[in-house]
Structure 1
């Protein structure tokens, strides 16, 4: 089955060749350029990705633009910073493809201590706890690698266009009665500096946006 892989992108030119070079057969990369100034869009195009421009700033805006551009039955989301290995996409998508699950998230397992700063891990733990209380879904991570069916995702009517988008997806999926699962994936040291959780300030901003979505 064809899988479209949405990669929200802001200044990831250094990481994209590795990420796109490891895209599995049957997976089409959709790189959503969210205002990059380092030539990310050109790099993505040279490496065979479908490039979508989303001028509205925001992680959720980029993710949703990629979802709307997708045409494959199954859509996977993942970061474009080389912190996740595209070769694990089929493993995350397996439950959705087989019909055993409606939404599957990759639970990040750091391969080195530096891959996931303590402040970012703590923020994620707090949000995952809140999510378990709200939905009853057995989730321990709001993992950025996730898979679901495209038409079903569009039907959820997601509204958040900032960092609350991933959390809103799980909340709306739970309300719709989706079967939600989690599988382990490797979490690697990213290339470059994180715009989301690379600093304490960035982590606080992300947790605030997601908390509001919850």
Structure 2
């Protein structure tokens, strides 16, 4: 599984609350030995059939974490590549607000159980 690790072009590209939440989740993954992940990232790449075989179930904001956890459990190598991350043109309803970030963290906490 290849993850795109964000390299923010400006501080405005990635809100502080979203960066903090991402750091906490990445720490959780590393602590549990699920890969040397620093960023769940905006991009992922893997063979389609293999992804389908992981049997991901989350349909909200927990699926990025579920994918990394399932891939690691299946014995996949998880690697990161840097991707340029620019400020959004519009507003993000997920991590562009503190409320959206809280919803995302709660969804991911449910997946982590």
Q: Give your verdict on TM over 0.5.
A: yes
Q: Supply the distance in 1 between the matched residues of 2:24 and 2:36 (Cα, whole angstroms).
A: 14
Tell me, which stretches of 5 or more residues in structure 1 are unaligned? 1-102
CA distance in 1, matches of 2:18, 2:111: 18
CA distance in structure 1 between the partners assigned to 2:34 and 2:21 by the alignment: 19
Q: Which has the larger radius of gyration?
A: 1
Q: 1:107 and 2:5 equivalent?
A: yes
Work out the CA distance in 2 between the residues paired with 1:168 and 1:152: 14
Trace 1:47-86 onto structure 2 (pairs within 5 A).
none
Counterpart of 1:151? Answer: 49
Does the CA-based 8 Å contact 1:105-1:181 persist in structure 2?
Answer: yes
Aligned residue pair count: 112
Q: CA deviation at 1:140?
A: 0.2
Mapped contact 2:30–2:36 kept (Cα < 8 A): yes
Q: TM-score by structure 1 length?
A: 0.51
Segments of 4+ moved more than 3 angstroms: none
CA shift digits 1:45-77 (9 cap, x unpaired) = xxxxxxxxxxxxxxxxxxxxxxxxxxxxxxxxx
Displacement, 1:175? 0.5
Matched, 1:194 2:108: no
Secondary structure at the counterpart of residue 32 of structure 2:
helix
What is residue 73 of structure 1 aligned with on the other side?
Answer: none
Do structure 1's residue 125 and structure 2's residue 23 form an aligned pair?
yes
Whichever structure has more strand as a proportion of its residues is 1
Aligned counterpart, 1:203: 101
Quote the RMSD (CA, aligned, Å): 0.8
For 1:14-51, what per-residue CA distance to the aligned partner results, in whole angstroms no more than 9, with x for missing partners?
xxxxxxxxxxxxxxxxxxxxxxxxxxxxxxxxxxxxxx
Q: SS of 1:186's equivalent? A: strand
Unaligned runs of 5+ in 2: none
